[in-house]
């Protein structure tokens, strides 16, 4: 089949990584899968014209609203993959909720990353329950062997450090400024600890705001975004991966850190708590002060660190199989024939 895959394809974001991974799965099954950036299209009519002109047999979209809205009235069959903001944020808007419901009604199938995400969607659209499948993100990390860690640190102007890395696309829902003040206070007492905020400027205006705010807080740095393999290499040399989001579907960065055997400190929100079990596969915090306390305990308790790393690695291997994800998508697209 010739398949269209609509997604938000800003480089180095979770959506782009997920889309590329699904494309790879489908290519391996002999399909042609063409990625298109949903942000480049404004109306279903544009996509209808594209699918007709380029002779697509079927379509997929990541995000029930951002991608799915463009498939309203589609003349070809399609499937939907939920994004993190679908049932967490977009559902709060009446207009978006109506569009999402209409798209879900016409979709041949839908994929949720977690059981919790499926249940939230099924509570809103009960008739769609049977077509929603749960498939967690498949993880396969491939750190760069040539990454220049020392230059990375020099560019960050941090010298010799113990670096906590907050990986996120720079937009408000990721709340990258949440820990900044508390972390800077800790840095003043212990100059070896640093917080690096790294990720693409998804929201340019907000990114400027973050960079300006961070200038006032020693020990906190906005770092230049990196390709995935280099980011994985940087993570392997960091003390911990940090997530401070207000809302998450399923953070690929958290899962990748687990696979790379790097401890995770994540804000205690439903999307994070679904994959991070406190003091088992990571550490969950509810306030900046709790984050500092847990970070110190992690640094001072190598036994705790080792146990968390081991259990997290086992968890990813068991529940986030790349091969399992491949089989699921290859099977589901048969429903589009």
**CB contact burial 210-231 (16+ within 10 A = b; e otherwise):** beeebeebebbbbbebbebebb
Mapped onto helix, strand or coil, the DSSP state of residue 171 is coil
- From 66, 14, 84, select the one nearest 271 (Cα to Cα): 84
Nearest alpha-carbon partner for 119 in 270, 18, 251, 7: 270
- Residue whose C-alpha is closest to residue 167's, from 209, 230, 107: 230
The residue-averaged pLDDT of 198-214 equals: 95
* H or E element that contains 184: helix 180-189
- The sign of the dihedral angle between the CA atoms of 79, 82, 85, 86 is positive
Mean pLDDT of 154-168: 76
- Please state, for a pLDDT cut of 70, what percent of the chain lies above it: 97
Cα→Cα distances 186→196, 217, 221, Å: 14, 11, 14
User: Distance (Å, rounded) from C-alpha 114 to C-alpha 135?
Assistant: 7
Give the CATH number of domain 149-319. 3.40.50.2000
Position 146 pLDDT exceeds 90: no
**pLDDT tens digits for range 89-145:** 888 899 999 999 999 999 999 999 989 889 999 999 999 999 999 999 999 898 888
What is the per-residue pLDDT for 156? 52
CB-CB contact of 309 with 279 (8 Å): no
The percent of residues in the chain predicted with pLDDT above 90, rounded, is 82
Question: What fold is seen in the domain 2-138+321-336?
Answer: Rossmann fold (3.40.50)
The pTM of the full predicted model, rounded to 2 decimals, is 0.83
Residue 154 has pLDDT above 80, yes or no: no
Question: What are the helix and strand counts (H, E) for the chain?
Answer: 13, 12
pLDDT of residue 157: 53
- Identical fold for domains 2-138+321-336 and 149-319, yes or no, is yes
Residue 159 confidence class, pLDDT cut points 50, 70, 90: low
With beta carbons less than 8 A apart as the criterion, state whether 180 and 214 touch. yes
Indicate the domain borders of the chain.
2-138+321-336, 149-319
d(CA 79, CA 60): 5
pLDDT at residue 17, as a whole number: 86
* pLDDT digits 0-9 by tens, 33-66: 999 999 999 999 999 999 999 999 999 999 999 9
Question: Measured between alpha carbons, how far is 141 from 132 in angstroms, rounded to an integer?
Answer: 27
């Amino acid at each position: 089949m010739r398949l269209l895959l609509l997604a938000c394809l800003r480089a180095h974001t979770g959506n782009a990584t997920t889309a590329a991974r699904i494309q790879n799965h489908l290519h391996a099954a002999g399909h042609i899968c063409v990625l298109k950036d949903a942000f480049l299209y404004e109306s279903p009519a544009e996509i209808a014209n594209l699918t007709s002109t380029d002779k697509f047999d079927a379509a997929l979209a990541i995000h029930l609203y951002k991608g799915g809205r463009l498939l309203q009235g589609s003349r070809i069959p399609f499937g939907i993959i939920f994004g993190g903001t679908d049932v967490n944020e977009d559902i709060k808007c009446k207009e978006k909720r109506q569009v999402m419901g209409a798209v879900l009604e016409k979709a041949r199938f839908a994929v949720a990353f977690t059981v919790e995400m499926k249940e939230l969607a099924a509570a809103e659209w009960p008739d769609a329950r049977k077509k929603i499948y749960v498939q967690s993100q498949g993880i396969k990390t491939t750190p760069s062997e040539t990454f220049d860690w020392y230059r990375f640190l020099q560019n960050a102007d941090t010298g010799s450090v113990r670096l906590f890395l907050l990986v996120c696309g720079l937009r408000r829902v990721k709340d990258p400024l949440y820990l900044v003040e508390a972390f800077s206070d800790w840095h003043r007492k212990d100059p070896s600890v640093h917080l690096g905020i790294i990720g693409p400027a998804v929201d340019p205006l907000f990114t400027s705001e973050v960079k300006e705010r961070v200038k006032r807080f020693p020990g906190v740095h906005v770092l230049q975004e990196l390709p995935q393999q280099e980011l994985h290499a940087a993570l392997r040399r960091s003390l911990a991966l940090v997530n401070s989001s207000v809302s998450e579907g399923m953070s690929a960065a958290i899962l990748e850190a687990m696979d790379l055997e790097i401890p995770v400190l994540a804000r205690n929100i439903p999307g994070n708590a679904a994959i991070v079990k406190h003091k088992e596969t990571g550490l969950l915090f509810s306030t900046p002060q709790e984050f500092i306390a847990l970070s110190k305990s992690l640094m001072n308790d190598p036994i705790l660190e080792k146990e968390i790393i081991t259990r997290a690695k086992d968890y990813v291997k068991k529940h986030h199989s790349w091969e399992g994800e491949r089989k699921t998508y290859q099977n589901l697209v048969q429903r589009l024939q």
